[in-house]
Amino acid sequence: MVQDVTGAAVLYPSRSIYLETVEGLKLDGHEMLSDLCAVDYQAHMDRALPAGVLPERFEVAVVLVSMSRATRARIRVQVPESDPVLDSLFGLYPGVDAMEREAFDLFGIWFDGHPDLTRILMPEDWEGHPLRKDYSIGRVPVQFKSAPGPR
């Protein structure tokens, strides 16, 4: 276990023990999940990770808070590009619902076991996942449906 500058514990479980790790932390007194977000490390693969953790393209960071001890724990789990699937924490923390939907919407990470994994911020028929690093800004030209065409 590593501590960051704010004193929060940082854990790096593998995907297979991700759910168990979070469950263990919940039993350990982390009552609330305060944040879940994904990061696309495609352009920053040489980031510092503890020995034994293989860097993958995606990373999901979960912030748990123990209200009784007033401490935070952060879980950073690596998610490979070829199979961006992760277990959903919905069964443990129902409050993760919107956050997992957001990570799915903007990064295309699939959360197994999430009951309603649909787009939350982007339009339902949107193609692609905008916060991925290979999704460039301004790639989609602005179109007006009723515009008469080039003048």
Partner 1 sequence: MNDDSDHSLDPLAPRVDETSEGLQELEPVQETPAAELAVEMGGSLRLPEGIELDRNDFDFETSEDQTMIINMGPQHPSTHGVLRIMMELEGETVLRSKPVMGYLHTGMEKTAEELTYVQGCTNVTRMDYLSPLSNELVFSLATEALLGVEVPERATWIRMLMCELNRISSHLMWLATNGMDLGATSMMIYGFREREMVLAFFEKTTGLRMNHNYIRVGGVAADLPDGWQEDVALICDTIPGRLYEYDELLTGQPIFRERTEGVGVISAEDAVALSATGPILRASGVAWDLRRSMPYMFYDALDFDVISRTQGDTLARYEVRIDEIRESVKIVRQILEKMPYGDYRAQDKKVTPPPRARIDESMEALIHHFKIFTEGFKVPAGEVYVAVESPRGELGCYMVSDGRSKPYRMHIRGPSFVNLQSLPAMMRGGLMADAVAIISSVDPVMGEVDR
Q: Residue 6 or residue 143: which is nearer to partner 1 going by CB?
A: 6
Residue 151 CB, shortest distance to partner 1, in Å, is 28
CB 98 within 8 A of CB 116: no
Establish if 63 lies at the interface with partner 1 (CB under 8 A). Answer: yes
- Render the burial of 10-30: b for 16+ CB within 10 Å, e for the rest: ebbbebeebbebbeebbeeeb
Residue 144 CB, shortest distance to partner 1, in Å, is 18
Establish if 99 lies at the interface with partner 1 (CB under 8 A). Answer: yes
4-8 contact pairs (CB < 8 A, 24+): 4/74, 6/72, 7/71, 7/72, 8/63, 8/71, 8/72, 8/73, 8/74
What residues numbered 2-31 form the site for partner 1, per CB under 8 A?
4-6, 8, 31
- Where on the chain is the footprint of partner 1 (CB under 8 A)? 4-6, 8, 31-35, 37, 39-40, 43-44, 47-48, 61, 63, 67, 70, 72, 74, 76, 81-85, 90-99, 102, 106, 108, 110, 112, 114-131, 137
